[in-house]
Structure 1
Amino acid sequence: MAEREYASEKAEKAEKGGKTSSLRKKFSILGPGIVLAATGVGSGDLVMSTVTGSEFGIALIWAVVIGVSLKLLLTEGVGRWTLATGKTILEGWRSLGRWTMAYFFVYVSLFGLIYGAAIATACGLMMSIMFPIMPLWAWAIIHSVAGFSLIWFGRYKIFEKVITVLIGIMFLAVVGSAVLLLPNLFTLPREALTLGIPDGATFFRILGLVGGIGGTMALAAYGYWIRAREWSDKSWIPVMRMDVTLAYVITGLFSMSLMTLSAQFLYGSGITFSGVEGMQDFLNLYGERFGKVPQLILNIGFWAATFSSLIGSWNGIPYLFADFMRNFKKKVDEVKIRKPIDEKDPAYRAFLAWLTFPSLLLLMFNQPIGLVLLYAALGSLFLPFLAITLLFLLNSKEVGPEFRNRLWNNAALVFVIIIFLTLGITKFI
Structure 2
Amino acid sequence: MKNIFKNIGPGALIAAAFIGPGTVTVCVLTGVEFGFTLLWAMVLSIIATIVLQEMVIRLGLVYGKGLAEAVRSEISSKPIRIIAILLILSAILIGNAAYEAGNISGGMLGLETIFTESTVLLGSLELNYLSLLIGGVAFILLYIGNYKVIERSLVVLVILMSVSFLVTAFVTNPNWVEVLKGMFMPSIPEEGVLAIIALVGTTVVPYNLFLHASLVKEKWNGKEELQAARTDLYVSIILGGLVSIAIIICAASIKNSEISNAADLAKSIEPLFGSFAKYFLSIGLFAAGISSAITAPLAAAYVARGCFDWELSLKSKKFRTVWMLVLLTGVIFSSVGFKPIEVIHFAQVANGILLPVIAGFLVWVVNKESVLGTYKNNKAQNAIGIIIVLIALVLGLRSLSKVFFDV
- Please show how residues 33-52 of structure 1 align to structure 2 within 5 Å: 33-52=11-30
Choose which of 347, 359, 372 in structure 2 pairs with 1:375: 347
- Give a deviation string over 1:32-55, Cα, whole Å, max 9, x none: 112221222111221111111111
Q: Aligned in 2, Cα 1:26/1:252: closer, same or farther, shift over 3 Å? A: closer
Choose which of 229, 233, 237 in structure 2 pairs with 1:240: 229
Percent identity over the alignment is 21
- Give a deviation string over 1:332-376, Cα, whole Å, max 9, x none: xxxxxxxx8211112210111111223333232644533221111
Q: Is the 8 A contact 1:286 1:295 kept in 2?
A: yes
Distance 1:324 1:68 in 2: 28
Q: Is the 8 A contact 1:61 1:256 kept in 2?
A: yes
- Please show how residues 289-304 of structure 1 align to structure 2 within 5 Å: 289-304=272-287
Choose which of 109, 123, 126 in structure 1 pairs with 2:93: 109
- Count of equivalent residues: 387
Cα distance, 1:188 vs structure 2: 7.7
Q: Is the 8 A contact 1:207 1:423 kept in 2?
A: yes
- Aligned position for 2:150: 159
SS of residue paired to 1:399: helix
- Aligned position for 1:355: 326
- Aligned position for 1:203: 193
- Aligned position for 2:257: 270
Distance 2:246 2:16 in 1: 15
- Please show how residues 114-153 of structure 1 align to structure 2 within 5 Å: 114-135=98-119, 137-153=128-144
- Aligned position for 2:68: 90
Larger Rg: 1
Distance 1:369 1:308 in 2: 23
Distance 2:66 2:389 in 1: 21
Q: Aligned in 2, Cα 1:51/1:173: closer, same or farther, shift over 3 Å? A: same
Distance 2:373 2:209 in 1: 24
Q: Aligned in 2, Cα 1:189/1:148: closer, same or farther, shift over 3 Å? A: closer
Give 2:383's aligned amino acid: A
- Aligned position for 1:305: 288
**Structure 2: gaps spanning 5 or more residues:** 76-80, 120-126, 402-407
Cα distance, 1:148 vs structure 2: 1.1
Choose which of 42, 45, 53 in structure 2 pairs with 1:67: 45
Give 1:409's aligned amino acid: Q
Cα distance, 1:153 vs structure 2: 2.1
Give 2:277's aligned amino acid: P
Q: Is the 8 A contact 2:8 2:236 kept in 1?
A: no
- Aligned position for 1:221: 211
- Aligned position for 2:298: 315
Distance 2:144 2:327 in 1: 14
Distance 1:225 1:141 in 2: 27
SS of residue paired to 1:398: helix
Cα distance, 1:214 vs structure 2: 5.2
**Structure 1: gaps spanning 5 or more residues:** 1-22, 328-339
